[in-house]
C-alpha cells in the first residue's frame, strides 16, 4: 500500500526542522502533545494543505473541522509500539463522518515501525478492546483488540511528504522503530460539524473548509508563529491534559 504525495522531500525536511526547533523550547519530544496546530504554524499549514483537504473532502464532504493534531514520534531503536486498536472508541464522538490523516515527516517503513491496517475493518463497527498499562505501548490506556488476524494486515509504508488516510473504526497498529532515525508523523483528525462530543459538555475544533451550521464546538485558534513560545508551550500542556481527560474517561 502506497501513500499519496503531499509535500516534496525538501518541504517535509523543513517542517521536520520546525518541529525539532519547537522541541528545544518545549524541553522534550512533542510526541502525543495535542492540538499542536494551535501553537505552531507548521502543523496548521500541513493540516490545511489544499491537496490534503481535497482528499478529505472527497471522503467526508465539503464541511471540515480539524478536531485534533498531534505528532506521533518513535525514537530510533526503541521498543515503543501501538497495539491493534480503533480510534473512535475513545474520542467520545458520535457518528462516522470522520477521517484521520497520517503525514510522514521522516521515512516510515516496516523497519521504522510504520502503520499496519486491516482492510475493510472500518465496516466492522466497534470491536471489544481491553485496557492495560504497558509502558512501551504508545496508546493512553494500552487499549488492545485481541482477536486480530494479522495475516490480513497491510503495511502502510510512507516516504517523507506522503500521507495515508484511514477511518476511525479501521483496526490498525504499528511496531517498534528498529531504524537509526526518528519515525515522525503528523496525525490529523478531521470530522464533519454534525459529529457531537458525547463524553463531556464542552470540546473544541477548528473549521477549515465549508460551513458549520451546528456550532457544537468551541473554536480553536490557529497558530501564526513557526516558533514555539513559552506561553504556547503551556497551552499545549493544558490542551494535552484536557484531551487525555476526555480520551481516558
Using a cut of 0.85, tell me whether the model's pTM lies above it: yes
183-191 and 98-104 as β-strands: parallel, antiparallel, unpaired? Answer: antiparallel
Angle separating helix axes 9-26 and 230-247, nearest 10 degrees = 90
What span, in angstroms and rounded, lies between the C-alpha atoms of 161 and 7?
4
Backbone φ/ψ region at 168: left (φ over 0), alpha (ψ -120 to 50), beta: alpha
- 215, burial (CB in 10 Å: exposed 0-12, middle 13-18, buried 19+): exposed
Which residues are 82's β-sheet partners? 174
- Residue 137 CA from chain centroid, whole number: 16
Q: Are 89 and 129 in contact (CB under 8 A)?
A: yes
Question: Cell match 475493518: residue?
Answer: 121
pLDDT in tens, 10-35: 999 999 999 999 999 999 999 999 99
Q: Is the pLDDT of residue 1 over 80?
A: no
pLDDT in tens, 151-185: 999 999 999 999 999 999 999 999 999 999 999 99
Which residues are 183's β-sheet partners? 74
Task: Delineate the domains of the chain, giving CATH numbers in brackets.
Answer: 4-247 (2.60.120.620)
Q: Rg of the Cα trace of the chain?
A: 17
Q: Is the pLDDT of residue 249 over 60?
A: no
How sure is the predictor about 248, in pLDDT bands with cuts at 50, 70 and 90? Answer: low
What span, in angstroms and rounded, lies between the C-alpha atoms of 247 and 126?
16
172-174 and 162-166 as β-strands: parallel, antiparallel, unpaired? Answer: unpaired
Q: Are 89 and 97 in contact (CB under 8 A)?
A: no
Phi, psi of 90 (to 5 degrees): -120, 5
What span, in angstroms and rounded, lies between the C-alpha atoms of 190 and 196?
13
What span, in angstroms and rounded, lies between the C-alpha atoms of 47 and 68?
10
pLDDT in tens, 177-222: 999 999 999 999 999 999 999 888 889 999 999 999 999 999 999 9
> In the chain, which ranges are continuous DSSP H helix?
9-26, 41-47, 50-60, 88-91, 230-247
Nearest to 35 by CA among 10, 64, 60, 70: 70
CA within 13 Å, CB half, 125: 0
pLDDT in tens, 55-114: 999 999 999 999 999 999 999 999 999 899 888 888 888 888 999 999 999 999 999 999
What span, in angstroms and rounded, lies between the C-alpha atoms of 88 and 99?
10
Amino acid at each position: 500500500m502506497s501513500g499519496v504525495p503531499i509535500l516534496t522531500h525538501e518541504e517535509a525536511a523543513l517542517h521536520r526542522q520546525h518541529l525539532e526547533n519547537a522541541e528545544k523550547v518545549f524541553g522534550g519530544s512533542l510526541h502525543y502533545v495535542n492540538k499542536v496546530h494551535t501553537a505552531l504554524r507548521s502543523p496548521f499549514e500541513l493540516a490545511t494543505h489544499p491537496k490534503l483537504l481535497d482528499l478529505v473532502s472527497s471522503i467526508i464532504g465539503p464541511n471540515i473541522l480539524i478536531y485534533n493534531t498531534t505528532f506521533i514520534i518513535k525514537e530510533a531503536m526503541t521498543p515503543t509500539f501501538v497495539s491493534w486498536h480503533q480510534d473512535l472508541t475513545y474520542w467520545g464522538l458520535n457518528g462516522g463522518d470522520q477521517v484521520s490523516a497520517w503525514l510522514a515527516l521522516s521515512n516510515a517503513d516496516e523497519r521504522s515501525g510504520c502503520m499496519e491496517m486491516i482492510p475493510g475493518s472500518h465496516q466492522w463497527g466497534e470491536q471489544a478492546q481491553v485496557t492495560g498499562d504497558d509502558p512501551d505501548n504508545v496508546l493512553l490506556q494500552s487499549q488492545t483488540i485481541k482477536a486480530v488476524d494479522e495475516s490480513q494486515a497491510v503495511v502502510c509504508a510512507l516516504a517523507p511528504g506522503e500521507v495515508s488516510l484511514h477511518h476511525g473504526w479501521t483496526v490498525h497498529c504499528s511496531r517498534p522503530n528498529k531504524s537509526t532515525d526518528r519515525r515522525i508523523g503528523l496525525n490529523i483528525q478531521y470530522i464533519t460539524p454534525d459529529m457531537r462530543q458525547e463524553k463531556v459538555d464542552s470540546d473544541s475544533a477548528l473549521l477549515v473548509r465549508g460551513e458549520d451550521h451546528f456550532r457544537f464546538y468551541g473554536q480553536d485558534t490557529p497558530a501564526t508563529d513557526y516558533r514555539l513560545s513559552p506561553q504556547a508551550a503551556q497551552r499545549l500542556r493544558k490542551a494535552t491534559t484536557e484531551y487525555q481527560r476526555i480520551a481516558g474517561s
